[in-house]
Amino acid sequence: MSGPVTATCSDGVLEVVLDRPKANAIDAATSRELGRVFADFRDDPGLRVAIFTGAGERFFSAGWDLGAAAGGEAFEADYGEGGFGGFPELPERNKPVICAVNGLAVGGGFEIAMAADLVVAADHAAFFLPETGLGIIPDAGAIRLPRILPRVVANEVLYAGRRLAADEALRWGLVNAVVPADRLMDEARALAGRIVASAPLAVEAVMAVDRETSARTLDEAFVHLRSGRLDAYERMLASEDADEGPRAFTEKRDPHWQGR
């Protein structure tokens, strides 16, 4: 695939690169293209995890393309099935996405990183939300960030545009690891490889449990987990892989996952 979005596959891992010089900003057409790529990822049984990054070394993504906005593209444009950035609101996505943040994650670019399941960052990366200084708000950021950061820190980022350097983002739990820029994709690929080595139905079940129970109390979450209504969890329990894992462990060999 050519154009502003390139996608390559290897060993169960999809790598998606956003390449829109100079700042990897995203207009509606690019977001819809990302949505198509991530929908194909969701639906392809041969793919287990995706890595999303930006081209170049300066910008992961500057977020919403303000040039397109100045040209008349509406703030509430059609960004595609998966919402802005292709995967953050993609229905029935039961596979992890890793963001490899190669530079500045600004506005919608930061919001995309917040929506990822795992994040690795180059040591020169930074994260900030400038929207209130532009007369708008970061919709997803206003919802997600106070659930991740301490409220007073989130408020300073949201209200006053505070920048978070990569090491501070690591300290607050926004990213999994910070590495030198030349090691960023190696780190992301190593993390993806560890996910691929896990049982696919088990990873799917963990994601489903989190999604289905995160808004419930602890007691309610356990009741729902054991209700028989959480399909991914029940499918995992009844799978051949659930037998294969303990058997491989006792036989001191690597498991052979079937995904069934």
Give the pLDDT confidence of 17-55 residue by residue, as tens digits. 999 999 999 999 999 999 999 999 999 999 999 999 999
Q: Where are the alpha helices (DSSP H) in the chain?
A: 28-43, 66-70, 108-115, 139-148, 151-160, 166-171, 184-196, 200-213, 218-225, 231-237, 240-250
Is residue 124 packed enough to be buried (19+ CB in 10 Å), middle (13-18) or exposed (0-12)? Answer: middle
Residues annotated as part of the active site: 111, 131
CA distance 78 to 83: 8
Specify whether the CB–CB gap between 210 and 218 falls below 8 A: no
Give the residue carrying structure tokens 């309610």.
220
b/e per residue 27-46 (b: at least 16 CB within 10 A)? bbbbbbbbbbbbbebbeeee
> Residue 253: what are its φ and ψ, rounded to 5°?
-140, 165
What 8-state DSSP symbol labels residue 6?
E
- Written as one string, the DSSP assignment of 89-152 is T-TT--S-EEEEE-SEEETHHHHHHHHSSEEEEETT-EEE--GGGGTS--HHHHHHHHHHS-HH
pLDDT in tens, 200-222: 999 999 999 999 999 999 999 99
* Segments making up each domain of the chain, as ranges: 5-196, 200-250
Residue in 228, 147, 206, 212 with CA at minimum distance from that of residue 220: 212
User: What pLDDT, on a 0 to 100 scale, did the predictor assign at position 66?
Assistant: 72
Class of domain 5-196: alpha beta
- Weakly modelled stretches of the chain, pLDDT under 50: 1
246-258 per-position pLDDT tens digit: 999 999 999 999 9
Compute the distance between CA of residue 90 and CA of residue 41 in angstroms, rounded to an integer: 11
Length reported for the chain: 260
